[in-house]
A and B are shown apart, each in its own frame.
Chain A
Amino acid sequence: MKGPADPIITLDHVDKWFGAFKALNDVSLAVAPQEVLVVIGPSGAGKSTMIRCINGLEPHDSGRIVVDGIELSEDIKNIQEVRRETGMVFQQFNLFPHLSVIDNVMLAPRLVRRIPKSEAERLAMGLLERVRIPEQARKYPGQLSGGQQQRVAIARSLAMHPKVMLFDEPTSALDPEMIGEVLDVMKDLARGGMTMIVVSHEMGFAREVADRVVFMAGGEIVEEGTPEHLFTNPRETRTRLFLNQIL
């Protein structure tokens, strides 16, 4: 880990049910500031559910989730506060198709943080430069490639100055040749000291920037450790079986 500090995200014995199906089973996890965590596991393992619980997109049924000192509750004000601290990047990008690229990025700062238009424009252009597509600012999402759209989505999340970024399989909907450009942006972010939880099977990315890899299966955290440890010398049989399948 990069720094000894209190965790910025804490999950404490979290359970989550979808009807009769238990999606998260007694999940406990602590993420330190500036830590980069990669979550792997078979589909249905609860990886997405876990990060969707962290910003309140899914309510959890029991246990505690604390983000930057704020405990998630049912209260909408409280959920909004946590969401302002956390950025989320989706598998399907979920850009707003009726707004131009720059308006996508400016929307939340203007509506939620109420900063003036000119300032929001400067902020948005700066972020688009950071994800390396300032020249697409006036286009609409439908006119961009998948990789470009995902980079806009990252810029859109960063515009709220989140302390934590959550990535839900950010490259699985992309054509192979576009994966690299998105991973490069994410690597920049990681090196810049952003706290990140990334659900992804990009092993190269995990090896290069992850401080810790978490393996989930059946709604539980089965094993966690450094990339070297987990990829080369996993303790659990389930981890080994899964790694054999995907490597």
Chain B
Amino acid sequence: MTLSAFRRSAATWARRNLFRAPADAVLTITLGGLACYVVFRLARFVLVTGRWEVIEVNLKLLMVGGWEAAHLPRIAVALIVLAGWGGIIAGLIHGRRVRLGAAASIGMSTMGRVVDLTRRFGLLIAAVIATLALTTSRGPGLTAGGVVVGAVAGRLFGGWAGARGLPRKVVVVGNLVLAATPLAVYLYLVDAVPLAMWEGFFFNVTSAMAGIVLCFPIGVVLALGRRSTLRLISAMSTLYIEIVRGAPLFVLLLLSNVALGFFVPASIAPSKPVRAIITFAIFTAAYLAEIVRGGLQSIPRGQVEAAKSLGLSPWSQTTRIVLPQALRNVIPAQIGQFISLFKDTTLAGLGLGILDMLAVSEAVTQQPGFRGQGLIIETLAFTGFVFWVGSLTMSRESQRLERRLGVGVR
């Protein structure tokens, strides 16, 4: 395309989309001006006026709190192992699709693949690089590199294994190893630093993940329970859901801190992070149950009738026919709830007195060198940014998951 042709088509595009009518033009200019101003102020804050030393000095505190420096390599190892683990699983899924001839990326060029990956993880990678620029030691950079290598190696290995179709024995053992990996990583970490000392962003991430894993089965069981024809089960599920949904999460967290003593003797009472995780799971399960119930209701009656007429047991009808479709139909709402939980982990700071990332970002502004300078703006901005990147990546991946699982939608 020549330059003048490009100019012409750009002018046409602008006329159609920005200046179609006088009112459109006014709106475009007003909002455009406002957007430019906001971007300018933001850029000035980030690049010029922001005093980021407070983040630089306290980066380790923000990320992992009081985790002993001697044990930091364990976190690095954990991250690299989990990256490889995730890579292997993604690869296995992809490889299986290749074997069955259903992979979307067959025939995708290398360039196309790079573009695809950038779109998915570009923001995350950019945020990590920006954060690495603030670090003074070599550890975080090496870890990030290790994570990338681990993920790529895992993905390649998984893709190879998945496409080949391994012998049954290997598959069984492999699945067991994969299932046990997160637990092994947890034990490896907790062996060095007890759970009660998990702080900073590390607490937010791990407690969110634990909360999600725990709340999912509870939520599904509650949703099925609420629809049960057995009156007692349905009434109990409904009661649970309505009570928990009626209480603010912050109140539940405060209660878990002070009221647990009524039920459990102090000697065996769980540590604060455990209480936080249980509260998160209890709370999110109630919301998840309502989301899943919506999904269950979206399945036409004919599906159950077909399953029944084939002689499937009630258990098979639910687990093979109804639930898979119901859960798929509500993926966006489910992930939305998980993103909510991820952000709500910051409530545990004030609610339970845990030094999570938000609590640290407030505390560091009280340090001798930084006190009374209004640095809370910088620390909150950084914390908000980190959560935003995490949430947006989750939401993007959920859309992708939804598209992928959309195969065969009626």
Asked if A and B bind, the verdict is yes
- Tally of B interface residues using CB under 8 Å: 26
- Kindly state whether residue B248 has any CB partner on chain A within 8 Å: no
Q: How many pairs, one residue from A and one from B, have CB atoms within 8 Å of each other in the complex?
A: 76
Nearest CB of B to A71, in Å: 17
- Kindly state whether residue A140 has any CB partner on chain B within 8 Å: yes
- Kindly state whether residue B302 has any CB partner on chain A within 8 Å: yes
Q: Is the CB of A96 within 8 A of B306?
A: yes
Question: What CA separation (Å) do A88 and B100 show in the bound complex?
Answer: 30
A108 contacts across to B, CB distance below 8 A: 310-312
- Kindly state whether residue A198 has any CB partner on chain B within 8 Å: no
Complex: chain A residue closest to B309, CB-CB: A88
B120 contacts across to A, CB distance below 8 A: none
| Most interface-central of B308, B314, B328 (chain A CB within 10 A) | B308
Q: Is the CB of B407 within 8 A of A156?
A: no
Of the stretches B63-71, B319-327, B346-354, the one at the interface is B319-327
- Kindly state whether residue A95 has any CB partner on chain B within 8 Å: yes
- Kindly state whether residue B303 has any CB partner on chain A within 8 Å: yes
Question: What CA separation (Å) do A83 and B316 show in the bound complex?
Answer: 15
Q: Name the interface residues of A41-99: CB closer than 8 Å to any CB of B.
A: 55-57, 76, 80, 83-84, 86-88, 90, 92, 94-99
Q: Is the CB of B312 within 8 A of A112?
A: yes
A contact residues, range = 20 to 34
Question: What CA separation (Å) do A202 and B314 show in the bound complex?
Answer: 35
Question: What CA separation (Å) do A92 and B312 show in the bound complex?
Answer: 19
- Kindly state whether residue B22 has any CB partner on chain A within 8 Å: no
With contact pairs A80-B313, A83-B309 given, residues A111 and B410 touching in the complex (Cβ less than 8 Å): no
Q: Is the CB of B321 within 8 A of A97?
A: no
Q: Is the CB of A156 within 8 A of B310?
A: yes
Q: Is the CB of B325 within 8 A of A97?
A: yes
Nearest CB of A to B329, in Å: 10
Q: Is the CB of B310 within 8 A of A107?
A: yes
Q: Is the CB of B310 within 8 A of A157?
A: yes
Residues of B within 8 A of A (CB): 100-102, 300, 302-303, 305-314, 316, 320-321, 324-325, 328, 407-410
Residues of A within 8 A of B (CB): 55-57, 76, 80, 83-84, 86-88, 90, 92, 94-100, 107-108, 111-112, 138, 140-143, 153, 156-157, 160
